[in-house]
Structure 1
Amino acid sequence: MALRPDRSNDPAARKVALEEARQDVFLREVDDAVRQDQMAIAARRYGKIALAVIVLGLAGLGGYLFWQSQQHAKAEAETVELTLAMDRLEANQPEAALEKAKPLTSSQFAGVRVPAQLLEAGIAQGQGDAVKAAKLYGAIAADEDAAQPMRDLATLRLVLLQYDTMKPEDVIARLKPMAEPGHAFFPAAAELVAMAYVEQGKENLAGPLFAEIARDKTAPDGMRARARQIAGLMGTDAIDDVKEVVEQIERNSAARQAAMQQAAQQAGQ
C-alpha cells in the first residue's frame, strides 16, 4: 500500500489551509451579523405587537383572577344568607325565612339559587298556596343547571302535592326512575308508585314494591311497617327477619307512647 506523502512542511499546502480557515471564520461572522440584523429588524417591526400581546395577556389573567375572587366572595356571602334563611325556617319563622331567601332565588349560582327556590316553594305549600308551590317545584324540576338530586326532590314534592288530581300512569311515569332500591328518594317515590299501581288494579306490581319498601332500612319505621302490612294483604311476603320486625314494632309502640304522653302534658298545661 502506498503511503500518503507528508505535506506538513509544504508551504503551498499550509497557505491553502490558512486561507480556507480565514474564509470559514469570515463566513461565520457574516452569518452571525445577518442573524443579528434580522432579529433587530423583527424586534423593531413586531416588538410593539408582541409587547402589546403580553400586556393584554397579563391584564386578562389578572382580570380573570380578580373576577374569580369576586365570584367566590359573592358565593360565600349568599351561602351565609341561605343558612340564615334555613335557621329562620327551623325557628318557625317562615316570613323571616322568606325575606332572607327571596333575593337568593335569582342567584347566578345554582347551588344557592335552587335550595332557596325549594325553601320558597315549601313555605308557599305550608301556607296553603298550592298553585305557587307547584309552579316553583315545576320550574326546579325543569332546571337543567340544577343538581339532579334537587330536581328529583322537586319532582317528588310536585307529585305529592298534585297526586289526587294526577292520573296513575302519570304518577308512575314521573316517579318510576326514583322508585328503584338505592335511589335517595326510593321509599317515598316507591310508595306513591305502588299506590298508583293499586289504583290501576296491578296488585302483582304493587305488592313486590311495597315489600321492597318494607326491606329498605333507610325508610322510616312507620313507612316500613305500613308497607309490610299492605304487601301482606296483597299476598307478598315482606318479612325476612322476624326479630327485626318485632324490634321495629316495639320501637313504634314506644314512639307512640312518648307522643301520647307529650300530648297529654301539653293538654294539661
Structure 2
Amino acid sequence: MSDTDSFIEEVTDEVRRDRLYGYLKRYGWIVALVIVGIVGAAGYTEYRRAQAEGKAQALGDAMLAALSQDERDARAEALAGVSAESAEGAAVLAFMTAGAQADAGDTEAAAQTLSALTLNADIPLIYRQVATFKTLMLDAPNQDAATRRAGFETLAVPGVPLRLLAEEQLALLDIEAGDSDGAIARFQMILDDAEATPGLQRRALQAMVALGGSPEAPETANE
C-alpha cells in the first residue's frame, strides 16, 4: 500500500469517527431514553411480580391462621374476615369460607357466600360454575324442584366441566318427580359418556339397578 493510499484510509476512518461522534451527540439522548425505558420496564415487571407473590403469600398465611382455629365457628368467622385482592384469590377464599361455614352447620351462610361468588364477573368462569353447583346443592332445602332443575340445566351443557355431575342431579330430580324412565335414560347417558369418571359411572349403574332398569354396557350401547 502506498503512502497516498494509507493517508486516504486514515482520513476516511477519521471522517467515520467524526460522523459517529456527531450522531451520538445529536441522537444519543434517544439511545439513552430507550435504555432507561427498557431497564425501567424490567424493574417494574419484577416489582409487580414480587408484589403479587407477596400478596399471595399474605393471603395464604391469613387463611392458614384462620384454619388453625380449634372451633368450627371460629374458623368460619376468621375466614370471613380475610380479604383477597386478586380474582383467583377471592375465589379460593370464598370456597374455603363456604366450606368452613357448612362444617359449622350454617349452610345458609355458605350458600350466600357462594352465591356472591357466582355474581362476580371478575372471577374466572370455571370458579363461578363450581360455585353455582355448590350453591344449588347447599341451598336445596330452600329451593323448589323447578328452581333447582333450571340451575342444573344451565350446567348440563357441552363444554361445562361439571356437565355430568349436573346430569346426575337432574336424574335425581327426575326420581323425585316420579319420572323413573327419565332418570334411567339420564343414568344410561352417563354410563355411555367417555368423560364419566368410574365413581360417577358406578353411582349411575347402582341407581339404574335400584330403579329396575337394565343397564347397557358402553360397548353395547355404542354399537
TM-score normalised to the size of structure 1? Answer: 0.59
- From the superposition, tell whether residues 49 and 179 of structure 1 become closer, same or farther in structure 2 (CA, over 3 Å): closer
Quote the offset at 1:115 in angstroms: 1.9
Partner of 1:103: 82
2:173 is aligned with 1:193? no
- From the superposition, tell whether residues 84 and 227 of structure 1 become closer, same or farther in structure 2 (CA, over 3 Å): farther
What CA distance in whole angstroms lies between the structure 2 residues aligned with 1:210 and 1:51? 69
2:122 is aligned with 1:141? no
For the residue of structure 2 that corresponds to 1:237, the secondary structure is coil
- Counterpart of 1:191, as a letter, is E
2:143 is aligned with 1:154? no
What CA distance in whole angstroms lies between the structure 1 residues aligned with 2:15 and 2:200? 83
1:64 to 28, 45, 50: 45
Quote the offset at 1:156 in angstroms: 1.1
Partner of 1:33: 14
- Higher gyration radius (CA): 1
Per-residue CA distance 1:178-203 (angstroms, 9 max, x = gap): 899xx56845x333211334467754
What CA distance in whole angstroms lies between the structure 1 residues aligned with 2:163 and 2:92? 17
Greater RCO (CA < 8 Å, at least 6 residues apart)? 2
For the residue of structure 1 that corresponds to 2:211, the secondary structure is helix
- Counterpart of 1:107, as a letter, is E
The 5 A counterparts of 1:66-215 are 66-88=47-69, 91-104=70-83, 106-108=84-86, 110=88, 112-124=89-101, 127-128=105-106, 130=108, 132-143=109-120, 146=123, 149-163=126-140, 164-167=143-146, 169-177=149-157, 186-187=164-165, 189-198=166-175, 203-211=180-188, 212=190
For the residue of structure 1 that corresponds to 2:82, the secondary structure is helix
Identify the range of structure 1 (48-57 vs 223-232) with the bigger mean alpha-carbon deviation: 223-232
Counterpart contact for 1:121–1:136, Cα < 8 Å: yes
Counterpart contact for 1:208–1:231, Cα < 8 Å: no
- Counterpart of 1:237, as a letter, is S
Counterpart contact for 1:107–1:113, Cα < 8 Å: yes
- Counterpart of 1:206, as a letter, is A
- Gapped regions of structure 1 (runs ≥ 5): 1-16, 241-269
Quote the offset at 1:207 in angstroms: 0.6
Counterpart contact for 1:121–1:133, Cα < 8 Å: yes
Quote the offset at 1:40 in angstroms: 0.9
What CA distance in whole angstroms lies between the structure 1 residues aligned with 2:206 and 2:17? 90
Runs of 4+ in 1 over 6 A off after TM superposition: none
TM-score normalised to the size of structure 2? Answer: 0.68
Counterpart contact for 1:138–1:155, Cα < 8 Å: yes
Identity across matched positions, percent: 21
- From the superposition, tell whether residues 108 and 158 of structure 1 become closer, same or farther in structure 2 (CA, over 3 Å): same
Counterpart contact for 1:141–1:152, Cα < 8 Å: yes
Counterpart contact for 2:184–2:208, Cα < 8 Å: no
Identify the range of structure 1 (149-158 vs 136-145) with the bigger mean alpha-carbon deviation: 136-145
How large is the Cα RMSD of the aligned pairs? 3.9
- Gapped regions of structure 2 (runs ≥ 5): 218-223
What CA distance in whole angstroms lies between the structure 2 residues aligned with 1:159 and 1:97? 20
What CA distance in whole angstroms lies between the structure 2 residues aligned with 1:27 and 1:72? 62
For the residue of structure 2 that corresponds to 1:83, the secondary structure is helix
